[in-house]
Amino acid sequence: MYSNGMVTAHTPKSILLVEDNRDLAEVIQRELTTAGFRLYHAADAATALQLHAQHHPDLLILDWMLPGGMDGLDVLKKLRQGSALPVLMLTARDEEADRVIGLELGADDYLTKPFSMRELIARVRALFRRAEQIEQTIQQDRALHEKPVKIGGLVIDPHGYLVTIDGVPLDLTRTEFLLLYLLARNPGRAFSRDYLLDAVWGQHFVEGDRSVDNCVLRLRKKLGALADHLETVWSIGYRWQHGEAS
């Protein structure tokens, strides 16, 4: 729950801080706790993975340089195999290439040391707001509207989970129906694979998961001449194009 961007005392968001500098970690813990968050702290990668598995935090603040055999990027890669939690990376490295590496591996934001606690808290709150907005959009997209979607000869009726083309019903699974309905009622909107997996399947994307692609493949075969409307947006996902929904 949020109130004017602040986390309420009734539902504190949990943060896993992974930072081996004891003095800095103590300051961050103190400031974020005062700001209304619940903190867990790990000084190395192994402890970070254990605490993540144990507590399932809402956000990860992850230092790049960590002692031992694993650094922050290793932790990030492992977590991104099965978790979509927001990640804010901390690093003393200010090179653009380093920032790009972190972002490409799945970090959501980047903060270069030294930084102010005010900026850190602002970025943490921004990440939580972004995650909440995405979740609200996903929940809205999961909810079926009562109005059928009509695009030329294609009719998608949410009441009976029925799809027809020129009056001929299509034999779709529930998942195929939900995916088609979401795309068709938002013509021109590009959806990422991980978003579709969350909105339709109700689960987070895991690297290598082909559920969305396989479902699209089946839908295209069943749509026949209308298959071209279901477009691939390269490096992103899919969208329904050519023709407005009514």
130 in the same domain as 175: no
Q: What is the DSSP string of 124-187?
A: HHHHHHHHHHHHHHHHHHHSPPSSPEEETTEEEETTTTEEEETTEEP---HHHHHHHHHHHTST
- pLDDT of the residue at 4: 40
- Which residue range is the domain that position 76 belongs to? 2-140
Question: Does the pTM of the predicted model rise above 0.85?
Answer: no
Cα-based angle 130, 132, 135 (whole degrees, multiple of 5): 110
Task: Give residue 34's pLDDT.
Answer: 95
Which ranges in the chain belong to alpha helices (H)?
A: 22-34, 45-55, 72-79, 96-104, 117-142, 174-184, 193-196, 211-223
105 and 181 fall within a common domain: no
Would you say residue 155 has pLDDT above 70?
yes
| Mean pLDDT value across residues 117-124 | 94
Has residue 102 been placed in a domain?
yes
**Cα distance between residue 127 and residue 94, in whole Å:** 21
Most confident residue range from 102-106, 171-175, 217-221: 217-221
- The band of 207, judged by pLDDT with boundaries at 50, 70 and 90, is low
* Between residues 220 and 101, the one the model is more confident about: 220
Q: Mean pLDDT over all residues of the chain?
A: 84
Residue at a domain's end among 118, 140, 162 = 140
Is the separation of the CB atoms in 41 and 86 below 8 Å?
Answer: no
115 and 223 both lie in a single domain: no
At 40, list the tokens.
């867990």
Residue 246 lies in a domain: no
Both 135 and 149 in one domain: the answer is no
Q: Residue 67: inside a domain, yes or no? A: yes
Give yes or no: residues 156 and 58 share one domain.
no
Q: How many CA atoms lie within 13 A of 81 on its CB side?
A: 7
Answer yes or no: do 150 and 76 share one domain: no
Rounded average pLDDT over 32-56: 95
> Which amino acid is located at 124 in the chain?
V
The count of residues in the chain is 246
Structural domains of the chain, count: 2
Q: Give the pLDDT score at 3.
A: 36
Residue 6: the pLDDT is: 42
Measured at the alpha carbon of residue 224, what is the angle toward residues 201 and 212, in degrees to the nearest 5? 20
- Note the pLDDT of residue 205: 52
Cα 61 to Cα 79: distance, rounded to the nearest angstrom: 13
